[in-house]
Structure 1
Amino acid sequence: MHLPSVVATAAAASALFALVCAGSLVASARRRTGATRRAHRLLAGGAAVGAVTVAGGIAASLAVQQHVVHTQHDKTSLGSLLAVGVALSCGLLLLGLLTLPGAAPKPAGALRHTLDGLVIAAALWFVGWVLVSKPTHLLGDHTPYWCKPLLMPAAVAALALGVSAITAMRAPRPRRPLVAVGVGVTAAAAAGIGLAGGVCQGMTLLADLSAIALPAALGLVVYAARRADRPEVDDEEAAVDGDVTQRGSAYAFLPMAAMATSALYHLVRGGDFDLVGIVTGSLEGFALVARQWLALRDVKAYAERLQDREAYFRELAHTDPLTGLANRRGLLSALEDEHVAGASAVLLALDLDGFKNVNDLRGHDVGDAVLVEVGQRLRMNLRPGDVAARLGGDEFAVLMWARPAEAKRAATRLLGVLGGPYEQELGTVFLSVSIGLASCATVPDVKALLRNADLALRWAKQRGKNRVELYDVGYDAKLRRRTTLEHELRGAIDRDELHLQYQPVVMLPSVRPVGAEALLRWNHPVLGSVGPDEFIPVAEECGMINKLGAWVLHQACHQLSRWLAEGHDVWVSVNVSPRELHATCYVDQVKEALRAHRVPPQRLVLEVTEHAMAADVEELIRRLGDLRATGVRIALDDFGSGYSSLGQLRRLPVDILKIDRSLVVKPMVRVIVELGHQFGLEVIAEGLGEQEEMAMVVAAGCRLGQGYLSGWPVPAEHFEARLDTATSPGARAVAVPVQAGPGQAGPGQVDHVTRNAQNVRSVDSSHEMRQA
């Protein structure tokens, strides 16, 4: 068999192979979705057209070989048909390449790739035209000037090469399958040129070889397309394609340099430009202008996206993510932007009272839900233009455009709005809010405004919470004094500025002292006498209360040991702040003080204020039980001021009740005394300042009393002198004349009452410490 016959047979087999490739792509398209399916369908269409073109090329080659077609016109007509088939096939293949996932992120990207490829293709075509045209005439007599149909597949081949190059540069990794598809499309276009050119010039061997090469190129396209599958790219990721800052420009400069160089060479050699050269140059310019327009549009869109993202992140940076209100940065920005300093505006500083207990007892999820609802209530109860912000934790702020009087009315309304119940899945949450107001009209800058609002809020909390306080210049003096007190208090013990005074606890009605309450006093060389109601809260806030309490405990035990050594039958009471009581080491401190000063435990009484009931009752019971186990006695101070209940009184491990002065009235004192006796407790009436009050408590059966009527707080030596007087020979009991009631001691029964009172257990009740 001759070589042309073998080649012809192989070409026929290649045509069949091309049809198989097209069928394979059709089957592959059915198993895919979205852009991948569209790409495989386009590739299948291009392969099918290519298969038909190969079959037509083989038939045309046979017709030329057998001289069925022998005129040049007929050969040109057949070549033109084959050129159209090759161009259509390669065009579909190029569209399929650009549609494959990863080649171009969206249609606009495919258009950019096409224009960039057209820039390269036009340059290649122009350089090729210079080389094959006169005067270079590189192919000599074989230059196919008369075969104009070859222009179309040649242009497609150049475009395929350009698009493949751009895809190789732009596609994300892994890009090897996409590059392989581009190479296959370029090879198919080149083979198509050989097929059409061989038929046009009667070169049947070239046509047959091209008919074999074209299906092989289609096979490469099918193989690479199957490996080019990747996940779809969403619109947000596709938007990155518009980022022109990530692209190079060599694809444009190099083709333009090649065209300019070849055009100059053509003119120097004496050549001229015909229609093909002019069209090619114009096409290059059109492609560059269109590409520049797209690039400008991309830059504009990219700048708009940057502005949108900047605005989004700016808003995000100025917004509290939990409540949706402004955050601290947002509030500061609003204060600066609106120039509120000196304006008719008021800043409200808000703090939720007791919110920490919500987080501790209900969990942070419930706490966050409450904060979200607080934000909603603020938004719903503010006027347009007002700015609500969450500064952090349970702290909020509102910038309100109003005068101070109007803002105070609005803040009072917010007390009710924010103090309402918060319905949650685990139960209802009750909170109150404290609000501090500061006017913008009197401040020089934003910093001073924030400071004034915080100071007013702090004053609102110190005055009982759940209230509104408007900033006053007097707060500055109070803040400076508090700061000074905190600073000086830290060295007061070392400088020996603290001392104890003792207020007698007397037996009624004889007013004989049987115990004493240790009261802390502070004399500063510059500040003078500082009241405990002023420095004890400072000690609580700055963490000094534990140190002060330990000092008081040791000083009182030391003095008590001296009195006991001198033969005085007396006890001393020391009060305990809630913070001391909840310290894990406090029980050991009490044991150490008793051991160091050799004080019998029953002679020391520890007073716990009824306000300590606001804390965890179960924990309080455990702490008091541990203290009572040491042998000391426990007194419940200020009984009746509001926190404890009768059920708690039965559970609390206490020995003594100290009746709050507000309950020393005739109907109540008798009930409380009988109640205490029913529970086996001794009762002490506090705040006795008048003879009528003392007569009342004696008539109610109360055997112990304390107050200015029975003795002022005095230094230790003065109290000791009174003890000496009360126990000296010849000393007589001073009885308060009372009208004996049913079951009460009459005038002849004073000694019996005195003997019973001497058996009472020790007690302490410092009002100053309980205020901490």
Structure 2
Amino acid sequence: MPVRQSVGVHSPSGVELAGLASLLVAVPAVALLGNSGRKHTGAARRAHLLLAAGAAVATGAALAGLVSALMAHEQMRAHVRTLGQAVAVAMALGTLTLLAGTLMLPGAAENRRAALRHLLDGLVIAAALWFVGWTLVSEPTRILGDLTPVRCLSVLLGAGVATIATGLTTILAVHAHRPRHVTVRVAAGVTLVAISATALPGGICQGGPVVILLGALLLPAGLVVVARAVKVADRPVTVSGDIIQRGTGYAFVPMTAMVIAGTCHILAGGEIAGLGFLGASIEGFALVSRQYLALGDVRSYTLRLRQREAHFRELAHTDPLTGLANRRGLVRALREPAVPGRPRTLVGLDLDGFKNVNDMRGHDVGDAVLAEVGARLRAHLSHGDVAARLGGDEFAVLMRATPDEAMAAGERLLAVLCEPYETEEGSVFLSASVGVAGSLTPGDTCELMRDADLALRYAKQRGKNRVERYQKRYDELLRRHSVLENELRHAIERDQLRLVFQPVVALPSVRPVGAEALLRWHHPDLGSVRPDEFIPVAEESGLIGMLGAWVLDQACGQLAQWLTAGHDVWVSVNLSPKELHAADYAGQVAAVLDKYGVPPQRLVLEVTEHAVATDMDELIRRLVELRSTGVRIALDDFGAGYSSLGQLRNLPVDILKIDHALVAEPESRTGTAAPLVDVVVRLGHRLGLEVLAEGIGTPAQREIVEAAGCRLGQGSLFGWGVPAEHLEAQLRAGRSCGSRQVPAPRSRPAPIAPGVPARSQIVMLGPGMRQVRAVLPTDPAFSSDQDVRSVDAPREMGQS
């Protein structure tokens, strides 16, 4: 019978055993990667799990291949080449998995598209390395000589993966996202694993123990580098502010290397064989793909740039608070071509008294009101209309409508804007003024805006809370306003101003006892300019202080002359609210009185009811300062609608001037006083005020005033404003008649101050003095004085 040959087992060498031992070191690194993956979520978790999976596959393939090679029988040595190819394929898969995990690390790329760009750039470098390497190891260069490995799948596959890993590592070192050092260390470790995937299968295939040991050493070394880098990434990393944009000039380096290597290879007599052609082809396809991707990026960037540009352009033409167009947006809409047959009309809107909302309730409430205004305007726009906030509380609406249609729309918007505004601080009530300007043909946008602004301006001047349509004469009024402002600045120095005096008479004797100083302006070119025309101009332009100072000085000078001549008379001067609130105005009045030596009680300062509509506490403080100088205060135009009875009781005034509208009330046939005049006179006397009826123009009106018990009168019945010398003649005539003289207006007790007993109050008698007067509120004459005593007190004690 045949003799069975004994089968011998291959005895592993010490080098192979050392390689096997080194591979066992990779197992803890694989476990560390798997544990790190379980700590993360999202993309970071997937990246770490891919790294762990790739490391496990590469390590398992290497161990299985090396153990199989060591335990192979002698007759199986012919199949070792097949074993090496299987190990090469498995380790290549593991290495590619590691590369995929590296690209997915949060620090490798900003997004997937960036990761794809990194991969293509890595292929460009890898193909160049492959081609250059092939030219060096192939004929005729054959740089390794006899050590050139046999062409087999194990070597080629491993070398291809190693070049890809090297190229990708190079790209990540240049273009990786922040923090870059972690990603580069992971990629470098994967590159070591890729080199091991070339050496270990190649050593098994060609029977090289030293090469096997090299591969066995590189595999755990690479995995340890990856594991340590991932462990560092688990800790919080401080991201630097490096945002340097690196260029793409590196693509020229591999192409230059390929051209030089290929040229030298051909000049040396070599040929471009299959492996070289493969490298060149991969290089070409990678470059074309990269270029295609770059073009896609450019298109994407261009689209996003256009979108951002459109967004920022829209922001530049939009008001951020209300969401409406701003002034630029309105101008852009005005410059757009007009629709044929549909004229454009601009409606300007402005909130009346909005500043008080900001001052009293804060800017947060004011912003909420403005936002609500924008919402209301948007809700009432027609198709094609453009609403804009021009600034502050000024709005505008561009309509495709005729001026008549726009006027109707303006009335609707006015009603909408006048509705209460509900805020966290409570309801806010505001009115609005509206100006309408239209153009039948497209014209200058600035002209249309100016016309609407003029109409809005006159809507405010005519009482607010109304709609005003632009008229041609507004241009003339505007030009005249400008001329008046310029000429008024030089009116004093050019001696164009003068004072006239309207007499105030005692009733029923009709004897002149005082006069009101009235300002007149006669311009050599403009003629006589009415006070109701140039006084508002002076107030708007800030010239009212200069004019008021001049009037006060001239009036006191004239009063001093009359007093020196022996006339028992007093003079009243109108006081603008802006003058009243000027700093140290009381000091200016005192200085003028001292300059001319005029007794303070002979000067009366008239404050209109309009001033009462301002801050009451501040007004009382200012009036108390003026009364501390000794001058008298008159409340002018009482009955015009601003003041109330409660305010009148608290105001420190001495004279109550009844508005001419009340005096002109239709009188009764029986000759009795008109009801309102009678009520006002009784009220004034009860409050301890001297009552003066102004605007008396007929004997019937005089009878009504006298019947009501009014002791002072003023009006055209007794004379218009006349020059000082004419009034002085009337004063001399009055003295010669020997009629009973009426003294200057008596002082009225100051309002009851907080904390003072109800039956006593402080009365200012002059600088540095005060009087405590007991008052019986139920006394009809308001004149019962008890416990009168004078004490020294500083001037500040007169404030209420």
Would you call these one fold, judging by a TM-score over 0.5?
yes
Contact 2:150 2:206 in 1 (8 A): no
Q: 2:745 is matched by which residue type in structure 1?
A: V
What's the counterpart of residue 118 of structure 1? 123
Over 3 Å counting, the alpha-carbon distance change for 1:349 and 1:246 in structure 2 is same
Q: After TM superposition, give the deviation of residue 272 of structure 1 in Å.
A: 2.8
| Structure 2 counterpart SS, 1:293 | helix
Superposed, 1:323-338 pairs within 5 Å as 323-338=322-337
Q: 2:391 is matched by which residue type in structure 1?
A: G
Q: After TM superposition, give the deviation of residue 70 of structure 1 in Å.
A: 6.1
Distance 2:292 2:67 in 1: 47
Gaps of 5+ in 1: 234-239, 734-753, 764-772
Over 3 Å counting, the alpha-carbon distance change for 1:123 and 1:230 in structure 2 is farther
What's the counterpart of residue 525 of structure 1? 524
What's the counterpart of residue 493 of structure 2? 494
Q: 1:676 is matched by which residue type in structure 2?
A: G
Over 3 Å counting, the alpha-carbon distance change for 1:31 and 1:659 in structure 2 is same
- Residues 254-309 of structure 1, C-alpha deviations (whole Å, 9 max, x = no match): 22222233333333333333332333322222212221111111111111100110
2:204 equivalent to 1:205: no
2:54 equivalent to 1:18: no
Q: 1:130 aligns with which of 130, 135, 138?
A: 135
Over 3 Å counting, the alpha-carbon distance change for 1:707 and 1:443 in structure 2 is farther
Q: 1:702 is matched by which residue type in structure 2?
A: C
Q: Which has the higher contact order (CA 8 A, sep 6+)?
A: 1
Distance 2:252 2:544 in 1: 80
What's the counterpart of residue 299 of structure 2? 300
| Structure 2 counterpart SS, 1:423 | strand
Distance 1:360 1:224 in 2: 62
Distance 2:217 2:290 in 1: 37
| Structure 2 counterpart SS, 1:338 | coil
What's the counterpart of residue 163 of structure 1? 168
TM-score, normalised by the number of residues in structure 2: 0.87
Distance 2:21 2:515 in 1: 121
| Structure 2 counterpart SS, 1:505 | strand
Distance 1:337 1:36 in 2: 53
Over 3 Å counting, the alpha-carbon distance change for 1:521 and 1:578 in structure 2 is same
Superposed, 1:345-424 pairs within 5 Å as 345-424=344-423
Gaps of 5+ in 2: 1-11, 666-673, 749-800
Q: After TM superposition, give the deviation of residue 132 of structure 1 in Å.
A: 1.6
Distance 1:598 1:636 in 2: 25
* Structure holding more helix per residue: 1
Q: 2:43 aligns with which of 30, 35, 48?
A: 35
What's the counterpart of residue 102 of structure 2? 97
Q: 1:219 is matched by which residue type in structure 2?
A: V
What's the counterpart of residue 691 of structure 2? 683
Contact 1:432 1:466 in 2 (8 A): yes
* Larger displacement relative to structure 2 (420-429 or 252-261): 252-261
Distance 2:115 2:424 in 1: 55
What's the counterpart of residue 557 of structure 1? 556
Superposed, 1:57-72 pairs within 5 Å as 57-60=65-68, 62-63=70-71, 68=74, 71=77
- Residues 77-104 of structure 1, C-alpha deviations (whole Å, 9 max, x = no match): 1211221232122111111110111211
Distance 1:139 1:251 in 2: 28
What's the counterpart of residue 697 of structure 1? 705
Q: After TM superposition, give the deviation of residue 249 of structure 1 in Å.
A: 2.9
Q: 1:192 is matched by which residue type in structure 2?
A: A
Q: After TM superposition, give the deviation of residue 619 of structure 1 in Å.
A: 1.0
Distance 1:464 1:601 in 2: 37
- Residues 303-323 of structure 1, C-alpha deviations (whole Å, 9 max, x = no match): 110011011101111100000
What's the counterpart of residue 764 of structure 2? none
What's the counterpart of residue 150 of structure 1? 155
What's the counterpart of residue 745 of structure 2? 760
Over 3 Å counting, the alpha-carbon distance change for 1:309 and 1:555 in structure 2 is same
* Larger displacement relative to structure 2 (628-637 or 269-278): 269-278
Contact 2:19 2:212 in 1 (8 A): no
2:458 equivalent to 1:465: no
Over 3 Å counting, the alpha-carbon distance change for 1:502 and 1:69 in structure 2 is farther
Distance 2:339 2:637 in 1: 48
Superposed, 1:692-731 pairs within 5 Å as 692-728=700-736, 731=737
2:296 equivalent to 1:274: no
Size of the aligned set, in residue pairs, is 726
Distance 1:374 1:604 in 2: 49
Q: 2:603 is matched by which residue type in structure 1?
A: L
| Structure 2 counterpart SS, 1:580 | helix
What's the counterpart of residue 613 of structure 1? 612
* Larger displacement relative to structure 2 (678-687 or 201-210): 201-210
What's the counterpart of residue 766 of structure 1? none
2:267 equivalent to 1:263: no
| Structure 1 counterpart SS, 2:25 | helix
What's the counterpart of residue 429 of structure 1? 428
Distance 1:95 1:232 in 2: 23
Q: 2:53 aligns with which of 40, 45, 52?
A: 45
Q: After TM superposition, give the deviation of residue 193 of structure 1 in Å.
A: 1.3
Over 3 Å counting, the alpha-carbon distance change for 1:183 and 1:14 in structure 2 is same
| Structure 2 counterpart SS, 1:466 | coil
Distance 1:330 1:231 in 2: 48
Distance 1:659 1:351 in 2: 34
Distance 1:231 1:534 in 2: 76
Q: CA RMSD in A?
A: 2.3
What's the counterpart of residue 194 of structure 1? 199
TM-score, normalised by the number of residues in structure 1: 0.90
| Structure 2 counterpart SS, 1:321 | coil
Q: 2:743 is matched by which residue type in structure 1?
A: Q
Distance 2:200 2:279 in 1: 24
What's the counterpart of residue 784 of structure 2? none
Question: Quick one: percent identity of the two aligned structures?
Answer: 60
